[in-house]
């Protein structure tokens, strides 16, 4: 389904079987730390990480599609159990379509979370386009959902909970942590 600006995010989230994320500005705050030797450092949010683990446990496939290449992103993906990692990607739409084909999913069954114009082709191809408040207006205007939380500061967790809630899986994912209290 091509992008439709009036698309209801919660309704669309109910059909999601795959979500792909950009890294810089989404899983991080967009800042890049480079050492004199060229080593790259990124700050990830642990709340986002646990949200991703819960979302995966609820049956949604996770992917990272990013334009940069960084060893720390590879390590983060391994830590979170993200099977589909694509780095150094300049055509995110093509990579997203290849992934949809590989998983035999329709575009309506996928979401993409990005924060810049390079992410728009992939965002406009899927059933649920997601972004963060600090994204350029052009991107925010074309997203189905703009998070309340900033990139690298809980935006990914917010999206994970949106999808799990829409699919009726959030309570089941939280239950082990609520134990006997049930609240």
Task: Give the pairing type, strands 145-146 and 33-34.
Answer: unpaired
pLDDT tens string 160-171: 999 999 999 999
- 9-181: CATH topology: Rossmann fold (3.40.50)
Whether pTM exceeds 0.95: no
Domain ranges of the chain: 9-181
- List Cα–Cα distances, 66 to 1, 59, 112, 159, in angstroms: 23, 23, 11, 18
Q: Which of 102, 104, 15, 21 is nearest to 60 (CA)?
A: 15
pLDDT tens string 107-154: 999 999 999 999 999 999 999 999 999 999 999 999 999 999 999 999
- Dump the DSSP string for 54-98: HHHHTT-EEEEE-SS--HHHHHHHHHHT--EEE-S-S-HHHHHHH
């Amino acid at each position: 389904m091509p992008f439709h600006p009036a698309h209801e995010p919660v309704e669309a989230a109910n059909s999601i079987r795959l979500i792909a994320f950009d890294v810089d500005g989404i899983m991080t705050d967009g800042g890049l730390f480079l050492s004199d030797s060229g080593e790259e450092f990124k700050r990830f949010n642990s709340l986002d990480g646990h949200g991703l683990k819960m979302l995966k446990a609820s049956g949604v496939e996770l992917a990272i599609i990013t334009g940069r290449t960084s060893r720390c992103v590879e390590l983060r993906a391994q830590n979170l159990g993200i099977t589909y990692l694509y780095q150094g990607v300049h055509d995110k739409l093509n990579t997203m379509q290849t992934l949809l084909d590989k998983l035999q999913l329709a575009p309506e069954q996928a979401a993409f979370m990005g924060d810049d114009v390079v992410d728009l082709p992939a965002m406009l191809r899927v059933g649920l386009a997601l972004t963060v408040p600090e994204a350029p207006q052009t991107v925010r205007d074309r997203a189905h959902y703009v998070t309340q939380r900033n990139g690298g500061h809980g935006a990914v967790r917010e999206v994970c909970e949106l999808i799990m809630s829409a699919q009726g899986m959030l309570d089941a994912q939280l239950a082990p942590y609520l134990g006997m209290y049930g609240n």
